[in-house]
């Protein structure tokens, strides 16, 4: 296959200008150009979250009235959130643009099957990838140290989609789970088995096995310059109020979309701190070494003083004080 198969243009042109007439710079932005050879994948990917960016819309829309959502779709979503949309070429040919900046072709003009460091890391390099590799200043994830990369857990079906349209990644079936590899009852040591049994349904795996601080965003959702800093927070899971987990700040405030005429009438229905599957897992942490870290010292638990200014009233629901242990 020659260049014109994907890029069009005029192969009979004898000069650059003539040959490039009608050139399609990024062919895979139109899935129909990939479909002749990859029909099934292209059809499924048209509904995948990496293509639709629907997860970003769903996350914030819970705060909106019907009128707010209409304005958001017209004035914000297409112009801003959709910039995170990924084409086929963004993963298989050329690294995706982040804030309008690309790192270029991954391997010349060769198509590649996967290269997590130049594709996944480009879009997810603000938080997830540097947490996983330890580049953000913390300890690297134990799975990274063992040579595992993104697609050892996140399978092709999750990335390409299964042909169904989902509103958010939380709705996708068969997502990665610690329990896929680490079965309850298979622990080699008795105290580990007992600890897991006692905390199952009460604390997420991350709550105990996160190596420590991870990145939180500040400012960018407040109409100011973006900023971030490290922190570690534990609190009630807003999606499962019976369990404690790691929380990450999403600093959207009441007037974030004020310029677009969006009032966010349901702002207080959703918190600013959300459960996060942090990617800095370790077998042994301060919380696995001593019960006192949580049950006596209450270390790293979200407090009222840590709630952001102009934040949601729902944040207070996430504050929890662990019960003392009967000794």
Domain boundary among 174, 205, 232: 174
Q: Are both 46 and 151 inside the same structural domain?
A: yes
- Residue 269 resides in a domain: yes
Q: Are both 322 and 201 inside the same structural domain?
A: yes
Domain range enclosing 45 = 26-174
- Residue 117 resides in a domain: yes
pLDDT, tens digit only, all 327 positions of the chain: 888 989 999 989 889 999 999 999 889 989 999 999 999 999 999 999 999 989 888 988 999 999 999 999 988 888 777 777 889 998 899 887 766 667 788 888 889 998 888 888 888 888 899 999 998 878 899 999 999 999 999 999 999 999 999 999 889 888 999 999 999 999 999 999 999 999 999 999 999 999 999 988 876 655 555 677 889 999 999 999 999 999 999 888 888 888 889 999 999 999 999 999 999 999 999 999 999 999 999 999 999 999 988 899 999 999 999 998 887
Q: Are both 145 and 237 inside the same structural domain?
A: no
The CB-side HSE value for 289 (13 A sphere, CA atoms) comes to 6
Q: Report pLDDT for 99.
A: 63
Q: Are both 201 and 135 inside the same structural domain?
A: no
- Residue 242 resides in a domain: yes
Q: Are both 164 and 255 inside the same structural domain?
A: no
- Residue 5 resides in a domain: no
Report how many domains make up the chain.
Answer: 2
CB 245 within 8 A of CB 237: yes
Q: Report pLDDT for 84.
A: 76
- Residue 17 resides in a domain: no
Bridging pattern class, strands 234-237 and 227-231: unpaired
- Residue 19 resides in a domain: no
Return the HEC string of 27-77.
HHHCHHHCCCCCHHHHHHHCCCHHHHCHHHHHHHHCCCCHHHHHHHHHHHH
Q: Report pLDDT for 44.
A: 95
Q: Are both 156 and 248 inside the same structural domain?
A: no
Please name the residue that has the structure tokens 């900023």.
Answer: 227
Q: Are both 148 and 271 inside the same structural domain?
A: no
Domain boundary among 174, 200, 218: 174
Q: Report pLDDT for 221.
A: 56
Q: Are both 128 and 256 inside the same structural domain?
A: no
- Burial code of 91-111, b = ≥16 C-beta within 10 A, e = fewer? bbbbbbebeeeeeeebeeeee
As a whole number of angstroms, the distance between CA 128 and CA 132 comes to: 6
Q: Are both 136 and 199 inside the same structural domain?
A: no
Task: Specify the pTM.
Answer: 0.88
Q: Are both 241 and 127 inside the same structural domain?
A: no
Domain boundary among 129, 151, 174: 174
Q: Are both 201 and 159 inside the same structural domain?
A: no
Please count the other Cβ atoms lying within 10 Å of the Cβ belonging to residue 141.
21
Q: Report pLDDT for 220.
A: 60
Q: Report pLDDT for 224.
A: 57
Q: Are both 187 and 108 inside the same structural domain?
A: no
- Residue 9 resides in a domain: no
- Residue 1 resides in a domain: no
The maximal CA–CA distance of the chain, rounded, in angstroms, is 86
């Amino acid at each position: 296959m020659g260049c014109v198969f994907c890029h069009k243009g005029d192969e009979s042109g004898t000069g650059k200008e003539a040959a490039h007439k009608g050139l399609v710079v990024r062919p895979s932005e139109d899935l129909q150009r990939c479909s002749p050879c990859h029909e099934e994948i292209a059809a499924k990917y048209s509904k995948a979250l990496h293509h639709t960016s629907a997860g970003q819309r769903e996350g914030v829309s819970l705060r909106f009235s019907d009128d707010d959502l209409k304005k958001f779709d017209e004035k914000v979503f297409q112009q801003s959130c959709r910039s995170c949309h990924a084409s086929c070429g963004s993963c298989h040919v050329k690294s995706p643009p982040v804030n309008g900046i690309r790192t270029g072709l991954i391997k010349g003009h060769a198509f590649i099957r996967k290269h997590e460091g130049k594709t996944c890391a480009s879009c997810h390099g603000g938080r997830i990838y540097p947490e996983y590799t330890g580049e953000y200043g913390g300890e690297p994830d134990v799975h990274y140290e063992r040579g595992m990369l993104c697609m050892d857990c996140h399978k092709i079906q999750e990335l390409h989609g299964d042909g169904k349209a989902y509103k958010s990644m939380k709705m996708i079936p068969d997502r990665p789970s610690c329990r896929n590899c680490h079965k309850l009852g298979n622990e080699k040591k008795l105290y580990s088995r007992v600890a897991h049994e006692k905390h199952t349904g009460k604390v997420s795996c991350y709550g105990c096995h996160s190596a420590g601080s991870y990145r939180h965003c500040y400012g960018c959702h407040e109409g100011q310059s973006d900023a971030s800093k490290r922190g570690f927070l534990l609190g009630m899971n807003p999606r499962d109020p019976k369990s404690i987990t790691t929380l990450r700040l999403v600093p959207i405030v009441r007037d974030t979309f004020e310029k677009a005429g969006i009032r966010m009438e349901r702002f207080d229905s959703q918190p600013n701190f959300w459960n996060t599957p942090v990617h800095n897992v370790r077998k042994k942490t301060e919380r696995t070494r001593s019960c006192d870290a949580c049950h006596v010292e209450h270390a790293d638990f979200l407090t009222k003083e840590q709630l952001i200014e102009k934040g949601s009233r729902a944040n207070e629901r996430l504050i929890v004080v662990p019960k003392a242990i009967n000794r």
